[in-house]
Structure 1
Amino acid sequence: MTEPGAPLKAFVAETTSPMGTWVRVSVTASGVCNADIATAAATGPGASFPVTPGHEVAGVIAELGGQVEGWAVGDRVAVGWFGGSCGHCAFCRAGDVVHCPERKVPGLSYPGGWAQSITVPADALARIPYGLDLSEAAPFGCAGVTTFNAVRGAGTRVGGRVAVFGIGGLGHLAVQFAAKLGYETIAIARGGDREELARGLGAHHYIDGNAQTPGAALKELGGADLIVYTASSTAPVDELLTGLNTHGQLTLIGVDAGSLTVPVARLVVNGHTITGHLTGSAHETEEAMEFAVTTGVRPMIERMPLEQAGEAVARLRSGAPRFRIVLDTARGK
């Protein structure tokens, strides 16, 4: 992007050697995420040009800064929405690097991964395990680690019931993680055409939001201990809470510009928790990928050439892709 609202276009950028604790990664695959739409529009305050979006990156280390330790040229690495932190604030010292007030995000803090090369802080790197293809690894930097953490971090009782609302780019991963972590898994989406897919991903039950009221249907199944909400519209949340068990939790990872209106009495009486979840650290991204290799969890991806990044964004805006688009730097036009 060379100016606000302009079309994405390919251009040749100068490649410089990384300094200090930064590394340069030769990019093989880079995911296209809903969060990239705003980055690609480049209309926000303080945008500096040119803008290169992309925060789901997988590739191989090409160069190391002089102060980098623990990494080597040729290492297979992923870089996600977490693109580095200050390392000294209270959040960083507590291990919560994602909420560091000085955290960096590829595409916003520095040129992102929709390129053949990206230079990032070494603390943003996640090691990709063998057994995971680089194109499959790319979405783990955002969608994968986000859904993995949302499911495993909720503290749901062993053998509990987890519902996933929305079976798209985030939801199809959340269903897999919930099932592989041993929870009775319920997939909720609109239309009966997604039931076979949802069950193939590991869902034990399927609720068609067009045919049933989701919260009431959840209650009939015994209620959910955790609802992972991946849809972009928050309008259904109020009704959905009627299917949440006492002391249950609803975790929002899909968001829009709206607000929630929840009856306070119901919240208090049932001891419900409603929380938001952002993403995960580089270490947690490694854990998500290692778990995926062990259990067979994989993102459903559609590959497109890097040169078609603008088309990929247009398709994402239209809602055309069902799951994850990955830009491939090796594919030509």
Structure 2
Amino acid sequence: MKAVRIPEINGSLSVVDLPLPQPGPDQVRVAVEACGVCHTDHNIVRGDFGDGPFPLTPGHEVAGRIDALGEGVEGWAVGDRVAVGWFGGSCGHCQACREGDAINCTNGQVPGVAYPGGYAEALVVPLSALARIPDGLTAAEAAPMGCAGVTVFNALRRTAARPGDLVAILGLGGLGHLGVQFAQKMGFETVAIARGGEKEPLAKQLGATHYIDSNISDVAEELQALGGAQVVLATVTEPSAMTAAFDGLRARGELVVVGASPDKIEVSPYQLISGQKKVQGHASGTSREVEETLRFAALSGVRAMTEQVPLEEAPAAFGKMLAGEARFRMVLTAGH
């Protein structure tokens, strides 16, 4: 089969021929139809997750069909349409798993790290990683929901915000453009915050009621003028932008962080205590939550904006994503 191979940390991507993997007990093989190119793939390639997985095949936003079953598999059949996201399996026996918190599994698996990922014509995954794709979504539409989609959908529905509340989406990129859509479909009064007035038409097209250009406006003041945000969902990777938005929260408001960065958000105890506000990080979501995200997207019309390229062009697509030239999600497609 064709697959992308990266030999070492910061190594170059190349498309090579590899043996077709065979599923073991409680595993299935998925014939990949589409795989999103996520920025976190770059973090993996540059060694943020250690040097153990190399050589590796990246890819954790996978959509396809089951084409082989391992021993002992029940409840799944060859031909089932499935997605596999950042959550690539859990151990089932650590404390987090026993508490029903599998996304924080101590031994959690990520495709492209724990085992070869979806930049390939096929991959083998554990049963716990599988999410069913509903009718109405193509593979290319489903793939980004396994990481980007479930991240923002889960983050929003786990806040204290209720329909009609003011919710701000900080950033209008790969995560943010989905966040605006989900927020609007959930019934929130949605604010999009981004740099530059040229992004306002897109923000309104995606469902934002309000747009704040952070290049020319004080974000916190603008949010307070609208009554204060119950939630600011930070999809950007710049903590300084999160800091600037924090005082736009209303009393008991929440800054929910999904944009990953090693740098620090600067918020004082005074800011937290005044109005009893909170800062909270949010991870991705389990396979069950990916399934719920897919179902909501199918029902509501939320879709990732994608640029699709064949698997053979993966190195170019990866480079385009790194250069910030992709708008908004690059998706690799494989023919079967």
| Partner SS, residue 270 of structure 1 | coil
Contact 1:8 1:40 in 2 (8 A): no
Deviations 1:38-57 (A, max 9, x none): 22335763334321000000
Task: Say if 1:239 and 1:3 are closer, same or farther in 2 by CA, change over 3 A.
Answer: closer
User: Corresponding residue for 1:266?
Assistant: 271
Please identify, of 304-313 and 35-44, the stretch whose mean Cα deviation from structure 2 is larger: 35-44
Deviations 1:72-97 (A, max 9, x none): 00000000000000012221122211
1:298 to 303, 310, 313: 303
User: Corresponding residue for 2:292?
Assistant: 287
CA distance in 2, matches of 1:146, 1:45: 23
CA distance in 1, matches of 2:206, 2:50: 41
The alignment's TM-score, normalised by the length of structure 1, stands at: 0.96
CA distance in 1, matches of 2:298, 2:323: 32
Contact 2:167 2:183 in 1 (8 A): yes
1:92 is aligned with what amino acid? C
1:86 aligns with 2:91: yes
Contact 1:62 1:73 in 2 (8 A): yes
CA distance in 2, matches of 1:44, 1:265: 35
| Partner SS, residue 163 of structure 1 | strand
User: Corresponding residue for 2:42?
Assistant: 37
Over the matched positions of the two proteins, sequence identity in percent amounts to: 47
| Partner SS, residue 33 of structure 2 | strand
- State the 1:121 CA deviation: 0.3
CA distance in 1, matches of 2:313, 2:105: 33
CA distance in 2, matches of 1:45, 1:225: 37
2:174 to 169, 175, 178: 169
| Partner SS, residue 49 of structure 1 | coil
User: Corresponding residue for 2:3?
Assistant: none
- State the 1:183 CA deviation: 0.6
Please give the root-mean-square deviation of Cα atoms over the aligned residues, in Å.
Answer: 1.3
Task: Say if 1:328 and 1:93 are closer, same or farther in 2 by CA, change over 3 A.
Answer: same
1:58 is aligned with what amino acid? A
| Partner SS, residue 63 of structure 1 | strand
CA distance in 1, matches of 2:10, 2:183: 39
CA distance in 2, matches of 1:40, 1:329: 22
Contact 2:310 2:332 in 1 (8 A): yes
CA distance in 2, matches of 1:150, 1:4: 31
CA distance in 1, matches of 2:165, 2:148: 23
User: Corresponding residue for 1:329?
Assistant: 334
User: Corresponding residue for 2:82?
Assistant: 77
The alignment's TM-score, normalised by the length of structure 2, stands at: 0.96
Structure 2 unmatched runs, 5+: 1-5
Please identify, of 102-111 and 83-92, the stretch whose mean Cα deviation from structure 2 is larger: 83-92
Contact 2:21 2:122 in 1 (8 A): no
User: Corresponding residue for 1:235?
Assistant: 240
Task: Say if 1:127 and 1:271 are closer, same or farther in 2 by CA, change over 3 A.
Answer: same
Contact 2:9 2:51 in 1 (8 A): no
Give the aligned length. 331
